[in-house]
Amino acid sequence: MPPPASTLVRRHSLVTRATHWINLAALVVLLLSGLQIFNAHPALYWGDVSTFARPWVAMFAGERGGEAVGVTKIGSTLFETTGVLGFSGNEVRGFPSWATLPSYRSLADGRRWHFAFAWLFVLNGLVYVSAGLIGGHFRRDLLPGRDQLAPGHLLREVSDHARLRFPKGEAARRYNALQKLTYLAVIFVLLPMMVLTGLSMSPGMNAGFPWLPELFGGRQSARTLHFISAGLIVLFVLVHVAMVLVSGPVNSLRAMITGKYAIGEDGR
C-alpha cells in the first residue's frame, strides 16, 4: 500500500531556524560552564549574603565507613549522591567532570566560557525577538487565540498530550495552546530572568546598578533564581526533545532545518 500523500508547508522562517540552533549551542555551553562556576561554591542561599551554616541547597562530601561519599542537601533533607553530586572521580566537587566546561577545575576558564557565550545568547535573543516583532511571528504564530484559551480547550489539549495524541492534518499547521503558552513563558519570562539574575551577580553591574540585585531580594537570591531558571530551561529542553521524538522527529527536524513541514492530506 503506497504511503499517504502529504503537502509541505512553510513552518519556520530562516531567522527562526538560525536563532534556534545558535540558541541551542549557546545554552549547552552556558549550562556546562555555569556548573563549572557553581562548583567553586556548590551551595545556594536566600538574601544578600552567604549564610554558610544555613544553605538551602548544598553539595559536599561526607563520610560513611571511613570512605568519602557525596551528599546533597535540599532544605533539611540529606541525600547520598556519590559519583554524581558532591563527590565524584575521587574528588570533592558539586557536579562531575563530564558535566562541566572545562572538565578540569578552573573557575577562571569557566567564567570565560560563560561570559563569552552569554553575550552570544543575548545578541541572538535580541535578533530573534526583533525579527519576531517586526515580521509578525509572535502575533501570527505564538499568540493564542481566545478559542484556544477556553478552559475546556486547554483541558482537552492537556489530556491529548498526556495520551501522546498530537494534532494531525490541518490542525498541525499551527502551534497548539500549550506550545504557545510554554514558548511565550520561556521567551519572555524564563530567559529574561536568567539574563537579569546573571547580571545581578556581576560586580561591575552591582557597582553601576546597585538596585539590580535588590530586585530579586539580594545577590544570593539572584544567584539562586539564576540556578532555578537554568534548571527550568533544561527541563523545558528535555520535554521539548521528548515531544519531538514521540510526535515525529524526521518531520520536526526537517521543519527546523529546511523550514518545511509535511501535512498529511488524509488528515494524518
pLDDT value at residue 2: 46
| Residue 80 neighbours by CB distance under 10 Å | 14
pLDDT value at residue 1: 45
Do 58 and 176 belong to one domain?
Answer: no
pLDDT value at residue 51: 87
Q: How many domains does the chain have?
A: 2
Do 37 and 51 belong to one domain?
Answer: no
Interatomic CA distance for residues 165 and 188, integer angstroms: 28
Do 82 and 168 belong to one domain?
Answer: no
Q: Does residue 247 lie in a domain region?
A: yes
Do 84 and 138 belong to one domain?
Answer: no
Judge whether 85 and 69 are in contact, CB under 8 Å. Answer: no
pLDDT value at residue 261: 85
DSSP one-letter code for 5: P
Q: Does residue 1 lie in a domain region?
A: no
pLDDT value at residue 121: 95
pLDDT value at residue 216: 94
Q: Does residue 180 lie in a domain region?
A: yes
Residues of the chain with pLDDT under 70: 1-5, 169, 264-268
Nearest alpha carbon to residue 217 among 194, 200, 231: 200
Domain boundary among 59, 77, 94: 94
Nine-digit cell at 117? 557565550
CATH classification at residue 183: 1.20.950.20
Residue in the block written with cell 541525600: 79
Do 149 and 250 belong to one domain?
Answer: yes
Residue in the block written with cell 499551527: 174
Do 75 and 141 belong to one domain?
Answer: no
The pair phi, psi for residue 71, each rounded to 5°, is -130, 135
Do 34 and 50 belong to one domain?
Answer: no
Nearest alpha carbon to residue 55 among 218, 213, 220, 200: 220
pLDDT value at residue 5: 58
Interatomic CA distance for residues 82 and 86, integer angstroms: 7
Residue 107: give the domain boundaries.
6-41+100-264
Where is 102: in which H helix or E strand? none
pLDDT value at residue 268: 43
pLDDT value at residue 207: 85
Q: Which residues pair with 88 in a beta bridge?
A: 91
Predicted TM-score (pTM) of this structure: 0.89
Do 36 and 77 belong to one domain?
Answer: no
Do 67 and 165 belong to one domain?
Answer: no
Do 77 and 112 belong to one domain?
Answer: no
Give the total residue count for the chain: 268
Do 260 and 195 belong to one domain?
Answer: yes
Domain boundary among 77, 94, 111: 94
Do 154 and 77 belong to one domain?
Answer: no
DSSP one-letter code for 177: H
CA 187-189-193 angle, to 5 degrees, is 110
Q: Does residue 126 lie in a domain region?
A: yes
